[in-house]
Amino acid sequence: MRQLLLKRLKNQKGLTLIELLAVVVILGIIAAIAVPSIAGIIEKSRENAAVANAEMLLSASRLYAASNNVPNGTYVDDTDEGKAIAEFIESDLNDPWDSTVPEWSVTFEDNVPEVTIEYSEGTASGSAGNVTFDRD
């Protein structure tokens, strides 16, 4: 019996069509499971980046408020006050979906900032360490 098996293995030169088909089917199943998971992970990381940008803007706004006597009101990115707040930001606020610079605003009420950043896929907003991302 053993000699017959060894003889068969010696004569076999490659994979049969059935074995090759089984490998392709298994790889297809693995790909069908993995691709949606990876897409979800990428999307979640973009949302996390949007929230991190808003938290960074919130920290910069707090630093600006601590350094200046800030009257109540709303300041947007293209005003003098907005540019002054932006100086406290360590890096550029880029849209995680299309790498453009999003529009943002900071509203101060009794020196407490509330931030809003408009992204191509939604809005990140919040105050006092509670920042959320809402899809459009």
Q: What is the pLDDT of residues 1-46, one digit of tens each?
A: 777 767 776 766 777 889 899 999 999 999 999 888 898 899 999 9
Burial of 57 (0-12, 13-18, 19+ CB in 10 A): buried
Q: Is the residue at 2 inside a domain?
A: no
Domain that holds residue 84: 16-135
Predicted pLDDT of residue 126: 92
> Structural domain tally of the chain?
1
Contact call for residues 127 and 135 (beta carbons, < 8 A): no
Q: Is the residue at 65 inside a domain?
A: yes
Q: Is the residue at 6 inside a domain?
A: no
Distance of CA 17 to the CA centre of its chain: 43
User: What pTM does this model have?
Assistant: 0.72
Q: Is the residue at 109 inside a domain?
A: yes
Q: Is the residue at 28 inside a domain?
A: yes
